[in-house]
Each structure stands twice: as C-alpha cells, then as structure tokens.
Structure 1
Amino acid sequence: MDPTRARLVALAAERGVSLSALSGLLGRNAAYLQQFVRKGSPRKLEENDRRTLAEFFGVDEAELGAPPRDTVLTVGGLGGAGAPIRTADWADIPRLPLGASAGPGTIAQDAAPTDRLRFSGRWLRQQGLEPAMLSVIEVEGDSMEPTLRDGDEILVDRSPRPLRSGLHVIRLDDVLLVKRLEPGSAGMLHVISDNPAYPRMERARAEVAIIGRVVWKGGRV
C-alpha cells in the first residue's frame, strides 16, 4: 500500500471512523474509499475530496497526496511580535500572551507568541482575511459578557479598514481593551461594554488607538 493510502487508513483508525462513513462525508458511494485503498481506483484523490478529508482529520493535505506548497510568511503579529506560518492550505496564527481586558483593564505589553492556532486557509480567504495581519489573544474579565467571556480567545484582524460598528481591540489610556465601538458625532467614539453592569464611554477618536477588529472567537464550553 502506498504512503497516501496507508496514511488514510491510519487516520481513519485513529479517529475511529470507517472508510464507508468517510465516503459518505465526501458525498460518494459507500465503497468509494475502500476501492481507493484496496484496488487503487481512483488512482489519486480528487482535490476537493482530499481537502475535505484533510480538514476533517486536521492534517496537511500533503499527507493525503497533495504536492507540498509550504511558504513561511515573515510579517510580524500584533505589536510586531511573531510570524504566521502557512503550511499547504493551513495558516498558523500566533497566539500572543496579551490579555485584552473585558473588565477594568490591563496594561498592554508587546510579547513574543507562546504558540499558534491553526485556521483553514480557505476559510480565511472566504472571510477576506490575510494571515499576516492576524493574531490570537485571550479575553480577560466579564465586561463583554455574554458576547465574550473571561478566557475566550479572539482572532484580531489588524488590516487597515474604514471603521464600522463592531468588536475591536483598542488601546485606551495605555490599557489594552476589547470593546464594542460605534462612531459618534463630531469625531467621537462610543466605547461600549456588552455587560450592562458596565457604563458606556464616549471618547474622542484621537484618544482611541484601534489595534484591530475581532473577527472570530473561541472558548471552553
């Protein structure tokens, strides 16, 4: 058995899923992957099938027969720290040890990434996101509940874009915060906590350094 077929069998065994079930995931007849593995037909997986399986198993498409397309991106992360690494059609986004406070506030400090969080390159492109402009940081505090909870992780897009209402990571009075921003009148910004126990603020636009827009969140159940 060639390495691609052997790897597929091993991945299915590790996940505890049958080849027939995986064939159904691809929208194929139940014997499709059995024939691929045992009889060598088709000779190789179609690109869409390979991508779907790689995303299901959380592995590089190269493990399932795709030609390697590794590229290292060298643009820095939030505050110049870290560099996303794109492997095949995955992007490893730096996870930075910075707490974006959703409470009273913490002092913002630039730091090197502790590790990385992997995202589908196809999903990022669908969202119009460039890996080199993304960073993952942790939320601290409860002022953005129920939208964001203490310990949630957020994906921050630092691409320069026109300001529109939504969740943003900002620096305000030398403190790193995650808040909901809404444009106000005469150069003012509404800085809003989703938790009604916290008062909303109105600050001059020049006082608020917008680090980036929150485009994804994840956290423990």
Structure 2
Amino acid sequence: MPISSAPDILDPADPRARLVDLARARGVSLSALSAMIGRNAAYLQQFVRKGSPRKLEENDRHTLAMFFGVDESALGAPLVPVVATVRPGGGGLVAGARAPAKTAQWVDIPRLALGASAGPGALADDDVADGRLRFSQRWLRDLGLDPAHLSVIEVAGDSMEPTFRDGDEILVDRSAVRSSGGWRDGIHVVRIDDVLLVKRLERGAAGMIRVISDNPAYASTVRALPDVEIIGRVVWKGGKI
C-alpha cells in the first residue's frame, strides 16, 4: 500500500500523519520502517490506518526519530517541561515552557551507479556516484557507522527474496570487513568472478565460504575464500511496499 494512502481525516499534527510525511519525504515505505524497528511488515500501516497501537512504543519511537533526525515529540513523545530559571535583568524561562527540538544533522551517503545482483548476477561497473541518500547523522552514529565507509546501492533480481526485493536500496558498510576481527556471518555485497552480488555468507570448512541465496528457488554454493571478494556488510534496507 503506498505511503500516501494515509486517511484524509488525520490532523497534520497527529504523529501518524507526521510519520507518513517523513516516510514520503525520505522515499521509504512503512513496511521497510516496520522491519527496521523489528516489527512485522504491516505494523506501521496498522498504526497509521487503524490507530493500532494507539501510540508508538518508546523504543520504536526513539529508533524512528533517530532515523529521520527529528525530535521524538514529532512522533508522539510528550514534551518535557523546562524548570523556570531567572536570568539577570529579569529574563528567564516560564515554568512549563517546552524544550526546543534539536536541529537535525544530516549526512549524504553516495548512491553508486551499479547494482548488486540478487539474481543471476551483474557485471560490476566503476563505482561512480549516481546521486545521494540522506541519513540522520545521529542514527548512523548510534549504530556505530562511519559515513566515510558507507555506500547505497540498488538490489537487482529476486534470489534474496523475501529479505530483499528487486529495486530495494541497501546501505553497505565497507569498514565491516576491514576490522581486526574480519568479516562475520551475515548479508554482504561480494564480487565473485567479476560479478557483483548481494548474498548471505557463512563460514564453511577450512578456507571455504558458503554463498547463500535466501530464495529457495536459487541454489547456494560453496567457494574458496580467496575466490570471494567481500565488499561490505549490508546494514540497512529500504524499498517500496
């Protein structure tokens, strides 16, 4: 269901309407946001359309606010009164005044002009930026992500369904494979035989690596570790409903 399908009767100040506006502005679906906070795909649609739940849980609200770079009050958090203080000359804050929202800080992550295939595979082109996608700097920092090592690319194909669908955008952390401990099991962008792929990786027997497609219609393979160039770990996805 499109993001724009929120009920017309919603007040623009309603947290549900605000959530829809924020999602539309970022071009991310409510189902993708639901997955980001660890909920089922319909969770935020039900919140918007049916008012169930009546309000977002604190942890969910905090995560979404960090992602959008907005104050939590925009998504329904109560405004915290500021204790009155008197300044020299009679100036001061009135008891019960609202704390001002912090200015959002953003960072633009390059969107590379190449596709990580989740299907038969696509030849990798030069890593040329094709626009940028904006993320909350605070959200990235809280996840331990360095913007200098991040890239956004588009998934092509269906071999990683239902995890990723054709056209999904993924955020790739290139520093994850350069840490002292090296890579760990999970979903990565890799280059195999000059083809760029997004696959789930698992360590196999000595010197081997399992390259797994989440879609059971596609066969998984076992490759020698030197044959698999690990580009980066997938840390976020966004896409259409």
TM-score bucket (shorter structure): 0.5 to 0.7
| 1:160-197 deviations in Å (ceiling 9; x for gaps) | 13211110000000000000000111100000000001
| Counterpart Cα distance in 1 of 2:155 and 2:117 | 6
8 Å Cα contact 2:80-2:98 kept in structure 1: no
- 2:49 aligned residue: none
| 1:67-86 deviations in Å (ceiling 9; x for gaps) | xxxxxxxxxxxxxxxxxxxx
Q: Which runs of 5+ in 2 are unaligned?
A: 1-10, 19-72, 82-91
The structure-2 alpha-carbon separation of the partners of 1:24 and 1:212, relative to structure 1 and needing over 3 Å to count, comes to: closer
Pick from 185, 190, 213: which aligns with 2:233? Answer: 213
8 Å Cα contact 1:23-1:29 kept in structure 2: no
The structure-2 alpha-carbon separation of the partners of 1:29 and 1:189, relative to structure 1 and needing over 3 Å to count, comes to: closer
| Counterpart Cα distance in 1 of 2:166 and 2:240 | 10
| Counterpart Cα distance in 2 of 1:107 and 1:217 | 22
Equivalent positions of 1:8-157 (< 5 A) are 16-17=12-13, 25-28=76-79, 46=99, 49-51=100-102, 61=103, 89-157=105-173
| Counterpart Cα distance in 2 of 1:105 and 1:24 | 40
- 2:220 aligned residue: 200
TM superposition score normalised by structure 2: 0.60
| Counterpart Cα distance in 2 of 1:153 and 1:23 | 26
**SS across alignment from 1:198:** coil
What is the CA distance between 1:89 and its match in structure 2?
2.2
| Counterpart Cα distance in 2 of 1:45 and 1:101 | 49
What is the CA distance between 1:156 and its match in structure 2?
0.1
| Counterpart Cα distance in 2 of 1:23 and 1:178 | 35
**SS across alignment from 2:101:** helix
| Counterpart Cα distance in 1 of 2:153 and 2:124 | 12
| Counterpart Cα distance in 2 of 1:204 and 1:132 | 30
**SS across alignment from 2:190:** strand
Which has the bigger relative contact order, CA under 8 A and spacing at least 6? 2
| Counterpart Cα distance in 2 of 1:119 and 1:24 | 18
Identity %: 60
